[in-house]
Amino acid sequence: MGGFFRIPIVRTLHERHLLLPAVVILVVSGVLAQGAFVKNQPVEASSPDVRSAPVAPPVVRRPDLEKTPLTYFDDYWRQLRERVEGSIVLVGPGSVPAVVVLPGLAITSAEAGEAVLAEMARARMLVPPPDADPDQPSVAADDTTEPTEGPESEDEPVVAEAALPASDPSHPYGLVAVDSDRGMSLFAVADADALLLVPPAAVPSGSYVAAVSRDRAGRAAIAPGHLVAARADSQPQGDPSLAVSMTVPAWGATAVVNLDGALVGVGISGANPGRGPRLFSSSVVRRLVGELQRPVLCRPLEVTELGADVLELLDIDAGLLIEQVRQDAFRPEPSLHAGDILLEWGGEPVTTVDAFETRAAASVTGELNGYRILRGRRQLTGNTILPAQDCQPIADPPVQLLRYGLALRWAGAPPQDATGGWRVGATVDGGPAALAGIQLDDLVIAIDGRPVADPDARALFERLEQRGESAIVTFQRADHVRMVAVVPLDGATN
């Protein structure tokens, strides 16, 4: 290297600090000179008549989706849905989803059970009375027997061998019980596996869970999420015993299961009016199913005993306080009010709650029961009709026009209320009334031009049934009035 710097020009450039720029200039000049001496490559002349050959588009390289974690995750939920969906059955005339929580028993919303009861009530309207003329044409109705209640045991809920099959005539559609207050109903089902119930304590908060249900087309669907909380009972304020992160379908019943397909809880639509479906943990569901199978005794009047000091201040020897009256069970409205003190029932003094309930249970449905009460400081006497044992109000029987395949009921209402009047309570499929276009709940206005706006029209309907002649029926549906001709089964056309 020392000899290199002894070269005069190099030494001069180095002393003047120009050696580095000179080296850079020399290198750049060499590169440019080499490019200038390279021969140009020949270029093929292009012609407008010559078309360029099509070039294939580049191949898009995509990852193997079958092996991504997201696909594995989605495939697991699909398999979980397929494992659980067999325990989500459709029940009732409206095909409402129900969850099979115990062998042979499925729980769902009250909507399904109430639809069965309504269908049974319509069918009963078309059953001829026992003293009907055997020569008169009649229409038979199926499944008219009231659903029987479950066993009286207060222990564990009944399992498969005690559950009645859905084909039992005493259980139309398999209906076992309806609890409208809680918004749920119980059905007996067959050929469906019950889900394994896992205790709430066995599922920690934050665990993966899924809501499995069926849509209105019967297709199963699953919504993954997380468990927020699960308790063995509901709170006194009515808070749900189960909380999850995902949205639960607001129709029928939904099964909330863990990753193994075991039942963590059930969502019931309509059980929490105005607040969406209500969620019940598995242990609460088990208890509710047991309660739904027990006989429910109706108490239209709830009474309680009075203390000796209260009786002394009221200056009476005995009496019971009426603490609650079920207004919806009486028709017309009851003359007894909550807060009245019951002194006598059926002409005999009342002294204990058990004695009163025994005598009230022995009362004949539809008969007047005399009473004497203390209201304020006044003693009053009167009569009332206790409702039936199922707390259904005693009402006038429907008018059966069996020749016309029609039953009418009087919907009593104030004169200013347009909902009152004679309404269609039931029609026979394919019967004369149905063929003429008359439908359930139509308001009948006139028969052959004669108005039927009050309960006294019952006699007109009965004469029409006896004559069996064709009739012009004027009825209202929504805000439209229609007029149709109805030809009875054995009537002559006029």
pLDDT, tens digit, for every residue of 253-278?
999 999 999 999 999 997 666 667 88
Nearest to 256 by CA among 191, 208, 212, 300: 212
Residues 324 and 233 occupy one common structural domain: no
With respect to residue 2, please indicate whether it lies within any of the assigned structural domains. Answer: no
Say how many domains are in the chain: 3
Predicted model pTM: 0.60
Both 372 and 410 in one domain: the answer is: no
Q: Is residue 229 part of a domain?
A: yes
Residues of the chain with pLDDT under 50: 43-46, 50, 59-65, 134-168, 414-416, 491-494
Closest CA to 162 of 298, 296, 282, 294: 294
The C-alpha atoms of residue 72 and residue 307 are separated, in whole angstroms, by: 70
Task: Tell me, yes or no, whether 361 lies in a domain.
Answer: yes
Q: Please tell me whether residues 183 and 289 are part of one structural domain.
A: yes
Asked if 137 and 248 sit in the same domain, the reply is yes
Does 32 fall in a domain? no
Answer whether residue 15 is part of any domain. no
**Is 178 among the domain residues?**
yes
Q: Write down the pLDDT at residue 263.
A: 95
Can you give the chain as a three-state secondary structure string? CCCHHHCHHHHHHHHCCCHHHHHHHHHHHHHHHHHHHCCCCCCCCCCCCCCCCCCCCCCCCCCCHHHCHHHHHHHHHHHHHHHHHHHEEEECCCCEEEEEEECCEEEEEHHHHHHHHHHHHHHHHCCCCCCCCCCCCCCCCCCCCCCCCCCCCCCCCCCHHHCCCCCCCCCHHHEEEEECCCCEEEEECCCCCCCCECCHHHCCCCCEEEEEEECCCCCEEEEEEEEEEECCCCCCCCCCCEEECCCCCCCCEEEEEECCCCEEEEEECCCCCCCCCEEEEHHHHHHHHHHHCCCCCCCCEEEEECCHHHHHHHCCCCCEEEEEECHHHCCCCCCCCCCCEEEEECCEECCCHHHHHHHHHCCCCCCEEEEEEEECCEEEEEEEECCCCCCCCCCCCCEEEHHHCEEEEEECCCCCCCCCEEEEEEECCCCHHHHHCCCCCCEEEEECCEECCCHHHHHHHHHHHHHCCCEEEEEEECCEEEEEEECCCCCCCC
pLDDT at position 159 is 31
Q: What is the CATH number of the domain that holds 419?
A: 2.30.42.10
In this structure, is residue 28 part of a structural domain?
no
Is the residue at 52 inside a domain? no
Q: What is the pLDDT of residue 106?
A: 95
142 and 245 co-located in one domain: yes
pLDDT at residue 369 in the model: 78
| Domain identity same for 219 and 142 | yes
User: Are residue 335 and residue 364 in the same domain, yes or no?
Assistant: yes
User: pLDDT tens digits, residue range 158-199?
Assistant: 333 333 334 445 568 899 988 887 889 999 998 889 999 999
107 plus 236 within the same structural domain: yes
Residue finishing a domain among 318, 350, 385: 385
pLDDT tens digits for 369-419?
788 899 988 888 887 777 766 666 666 778 888 889 898 988 865 444 556
> Which pLDDT value is given to residue 299?
75
* Predicted local distance difference test score (pLDDT) of residue 439: 92
| Single residue among 385, 407, 422 that ends a domain in this structure | 385
Residues 422 and 284 in one domain: no
Q: 110 with 204, same domain?
A: yes
What is the CATH classification number for the domain harbouring 112?
2.40.10.120
Q: Which domain holds residue 88?
A: 83-298
Domain final residue pick, 245, 277, 298: 298
pLDDT of residue 371: 87
Return d(Cα 332, Cα 395) in angstroms, integer: 9
Q: Are residues 320 and 335 in the same domain?
A: yes
Same domain, 340 and 449: no
